[in-house]
Chains A and B, each alone.
Chain A
Amino acid sequence: MLEILKYSFFDLIRSRWTYIYCGFYLLFTLSLLWLSNDLSKVVISLMNVVLLLCPLIATMFGVMYYYNSREFTELLLAQPMKRTSIFLGQYLGLAGSLSASWLIGTGVPFVLYGVFGSAQAGNFLTLMLIGVALSFIFSALAFLIALKNENRIKGFGLAILVWLFFAVVYDGFLLLSLSYFNEYPLEKFALAASMFNPIDLSRILILLKLDISALMGFTGAVFRKFLGTGLGMAVSLGVLAVWVLLPTWGIRRVSLRKDF
């Protein structure tokens, strides 16, 4: 698996798209830093961006990479190797290269700017972590979708739908149901519902950093306990890890049963 990982990773980090992706972040972060000259504002801007862009790009890359490397994958399958090592290796290579683009594209300007001496170091690390987690989660979902669908158009469409669902539609339904059942105690429901969407989960991690003042305005005891203590952070990180593992396990399962 490590060999596959290594080759996928090196194949990808030499891809034009990886450069474009990394270059975009680099340019974006640099121009934000240059324009606003205020670390905290740039971190906040990027936090809004990471929730939107990392999942989208990871989804597109994941599907694209799988379909593009299909024939090569077949070559690998004919080699004396375990199927799971091939697919997990490719997935990890992909997720790794996406994360590397993200970390380099946004991390380098921040580090050069001296984020580690500043009060924003914690927020910055959260930001980095969320970008990596979302890249892993959504490239795994994309891989899974591509594995399940031989038809590229269908695979692409489905992947975009999944992204759209988690990025927008899910929240719409959540807000609708929260407003509809307004009279009932909803705090547990609201928190639980956020756990089922990795983007929401990452957003809550960001809220814990940026909007703690507003979050502490809740009257509900569950909310206060969850958000006000380390519990929220710990649970969110834990569930985020589950979100990485679940589709990865799916990749393993599907790849073992699939014909090529």
Chain B
Amino acid sequence: MKKFIAIASIVFWSNFLLGNTLEVCPTCTFSTLKKAIELAQPCDTIFVKKGTYEEGNILIDKDLTLVGKNLPILDGNGNSEILTVHNNFFHLEGFLIQNIGTSYTEDRAGVRMKECQNFTLKNNRFLDAFFAIYLEHSKDGVVEGNFVKGHAKDEAGSGNAIHLWYCENISVLGNHVTGHRDGIYLEFVNNSHIAGNLSEGNLRYGLHFMFSNHDFYRKNTFRDNGAGVAVMYSKQIDMLQNVFEKNWGAAAYGLLLKEIHDSKIEQNEFRENTVGIFAETSNRLKINSNHFTQNGWAMKISGGCQEMVVHQNSFVSNSFDLAVQTSGTANNFDGNFWGDYAGYDLDKDGVGDVPYRPMKLFSYVVGRTPEAMVLLRSLFVDILNFSEKVSPVFTPENVVDNRPLMKQNVSIAENSSIQKFNEDLSLTSTSPITPEVNSGQVNH
């Protein structure tokens, strides 16, 4: 990855050095961007000054660098895709791209990269885009520090903020996306990484993986999205140090895993979600050192999950820590911290001497009769749970932590700094944007 960035920047700067510069402004020689692009030589740099440019769809098919000065506006007037790039090298920076307009027949985008390689889309703003950034059949690109805000009302009439389709080796870094269908969408995308983004208030998923392998996402915040983050039909996805919070609803999850295999979920923070992690037919997951607080269900594990390792996590103040539908085989829940654990540690080795059963009877009851939820925290329910704890009848025998921790794993606390990082990002992105994303962090 570092290598790529190094090469990319060399190429970028060499373009500056090699090419000429052109200026576009309402009173310049070039008063339209189209004209400047038409006359530009490959490797040229076009500076666009403040102003509103309503030029419809602009096609780019040569190596170019487009730099906006004082946030020039590219306006689609509600009925047009704006930049369509079909070329290898491209750099776009400092534009406000707006009013693309909803279409039910085509996937219009603010910027579409079609079969591109070596490109950077950096520090741009997108307002009311149908799709904001649309990458198809592209590779080796960076999408960084963009602010995307839509006003999506229903799923059918809205597009994704950042959409990747059949891509390879793409970095999506430090963007702030909100008000779209999916915040970041990946389909058939491999070897890519998503880091330091803030995805909130999107209709469906904050981040959505489909049929994508060997990717990882890290230090992102997903908040208040319709259904959280979905990772489906993929394998070897690493999910590290993200914050999932306030995803509320009947079908809302912090993280939804469906047919995910051989993936890692580590050091994430799950806060106030209806369900922290929902896993279905997923195998060989490593769920370690995550922090679950104040979720309805910290983890819900549906049928067909095998060889799952849940280790070193802390579960605090969740309505239910764990709901397991069928026990599955070879799942291991040892060595976690459970806020409700009431055992003792006589030999002072930091591990409780009595095994803990995180799946309560009431969790089973609510699974069968959801309305029984109104009895949560009732004395009667506590008595029921206690009797079940003494001799399990209804809850799966093998859902048990044989080595419950007496103290929380402290390394998780670091997550609050991720949150802060993203808060800062969302603040800066309302003004001309220069978020500091340390690309050194993003090594694959």
Chain A residues close to B by CB (< 8 Å): 40-41, 44, 47-48, 51-52, 167-169, 171-172, 174-175, 178-179, 182, 186-187, 189-191, 193-194, 200, 203-204, 206-207, 210-220, 223-224
Interface range on chain B (Cβ under 8 Å from partner): 20 to 34
B249 nearest CB neighbor, chain A only: A216
Interface status of B380 (Cβ within 8 A of chain A): yes
Which B residues touch A193, using CB under 8 A?
374
Q: Is the CB of B377 within 8 A of A211?
A: yes
Contact yes or no, B379 A217, CB < 8 A: no
Interface assignment of B250: CB less than 8 Å from any CB of chain A: yes
Q: A172-B380, A175-B365, A213-B248 are in contact. Are A218 and B375 (CB under 8 A)?
A: no
Contacts of A223 in B (CB 8 A): 371
Question: Please, how many angstroms separate the alpha-carbon atoms of A211 and B296 in the complex?
Answer: 6
Q: Does B27 make an interface contact (CB < 8 A)?
A: no
For the complex with contacts A213-B294, A216-B252, 10 further pairs of A-B residues with Cβ separation under 8 Å are A52-B379, A171-B375, A174-B374, A182-B368, A190-B373, A213-B295, A214-B319, A217-B249, A219-B250, A224-B250
Binary interface profile of B, 362-387, with partner A (CB < 8 Å = 1, else 0)? 00010011111111111111011000
Q: Which residues of B contact A179 (CB under 8 A)?
A: 365, 368-369, 372
Give the complex CA separation of A168 and B368 in angstroms: 21
List residues of chain B with CB within 8 A of the CB of A219: 250, 370
- B249 proximity list for chain A (CB < 8 A): 216-217
3 shortest interchain CB distances as A-B pairs: A214-B296, A214-B319, A171-B380
CA separation between A217 and B370, bound complex, in Å? 9
Q: Is the CB of A167 within 8 A of B274?
A: no
Nearest chain B CB to A206's CB is how many angstroms away? 7
Indicate if B275 sits at the interface (CB-CB under 8 A): yes
When A168-B379, A217-B275 are in contact, do A211 and B370 touch as well, CB less than 8 Å? Answer: no
**Which residues from A are CB-within-8-Å of B365?**
175, 179
Q: Does B426 contact A (CB under 8 A)?
A: no
B→A interface (CB under 8 Å): 248-250, 252, 272-275, 294-297, 317, 319-320, 365, 368-381, 383-384
A190 with B297: CB separation less than 8 A:
no
A178-B371, A191-B374 are known contacts. Are A218 and B273 too (CB-CB below 8 A)?
no
Bound-complex Cα distance A149 to B355 (A): 50
Chain B contacts for A191, CB-based, 8 A: 374
Q: How far is the CA of A223 from the CA of B374 in the complex (A)?
A: 10
* Chain A residue nearest to B250 in the complex (CB): A219
**Whole-angstrom distance from the CB of B250 to the nearest CB of chain A?**
4
Residue of B nearest to A193 (CB): B374
**CA distance in complex: A224, B319 (Å):** 17
Across the interface, B317 reaches (CB within 8 A) one of A44, A48, A200, namely A44
| Cβ-closest chain B residue relative to A52 | B379
Chain B residues with Cβ below 8 Å from A216 are 248-250, 252, 274, 296
B319 touching A213 by the CB < 8 A rule? yes
Contact of A207 (CB < 8 Å), options: B274, B317, B368, B376 = B376
Interface centre among A52, A193, A214 (most CB of B within 10 A): A214
- Select B377's contact among A172, A189, A206, beta carbons within 8 Å: A206
CB distance from B379 to the nearest CB of A (A): 5
A203 touches B377 (CB 8 A): yes
CB–CB B296/A217 < 8 A:
yes
Cβ–Cβ contact B379 & A178, under 8 A: no
